Amino acid sequence: MIFHILSIFPQFFTTPLQTSILKRANEKKLVEFDLLNIREFAQDKHKTTDDRPFGGDPGMVMKIEPIELALRSIGKGLNQPHTPNGRVVLLSARGKRFDQNKAREYSKLESLSLICGHYADVDQRVAKYLIDEELSIGEFVLTGGEPAALVILDAVVRLLPGVLGNESSLLGESHDQPGRISPPQYTRPADYLGLKVPEVLLTGNPKKIQHWQKQHLGFSQD
């Protein structure tokens, strides 16, 4: 699977993509990360990627032109038909909430292109004409779309076949079922300075342990 990441700060991803699961997935050639610097597609001598909004509102707005040209360079620009096995996504406060079901859906694609917004907003023509959907990771303000893109990358990559050493660890994870959070987990030592692991988990009795785990399933607050 290939991830195209469009950003004016591609260096934001340098360390994360060379760490842990993302690094191993890339080394195994299970994924490819293509970082596109939107600024390199700006046509003026100052490489401008933002401008004042029409209408006089405060803040700056990312321009459509360099974003469209960046998408065009990977065959996903204006009037270039998007393939059913690929998706172009704008990280946006207006977007639908990203969740585990969406991560699972994306893990079946061949390509995912993530556009990282910045400044006060992105020219609405990007959302209207250039993408397949807008996504948000929550109701809070970020400086740009880069952290949100990284969250989506991590959530999707770990679902790809062969990425995790033990794929059975995916079973029963938090949010594997809508709203459900996995029960508390403990490990050795069983007693640390008087802080003890629940006795039932030390019994070795599968039925008692499963009963305890079902009693302690959590649920998200959404």
DSSP string over 8-57: S-GGGGTTGGGSHHHHHHHHTTS-EEEEEEGGGG--STT---EEPPTT--
How far apart CA 8 and CA 52 sit, in angstroms, is: 17
Higher pLDDT, 124 or 172: 124
User: Model confidence at 165, in pLDDT bands (50, 70, 90)?
Assistant: confident
Weakest mean pLDDT among 44-48, 136-140, 163-167, 193-197 = 163-167
The rounded percent of the chain whose pLDDT value lies above 90 is 84
Buried b (16+ CB within 10 A) or exposed e, 34-56: ebbbbbebbeeeeeebbeeeeee
Higher pLDDT, 109 or 81: 109
pLDDT digits (tens, 9 = 90+) for 1-29: 999 999 999 999 999 999 999 999 999 99
All structural domains of the chain:
2-157 (3.40.1280.10), 172-219 (1.10.1270.20)
Bridge-based pairing of strands 86-97 and 133-136 is parallel
What pLDDT score was predicted for residue 154?
98
Q: If you search the block for the tokens 């952290």, which residue do you land on? A: 147
- How much is the pLDDT for 188? 95
Closest CA to 176 of 91, 106, 108, 99: 99
pLDDT at 218: 74
33: pLDDT strictly greater than 90: yes
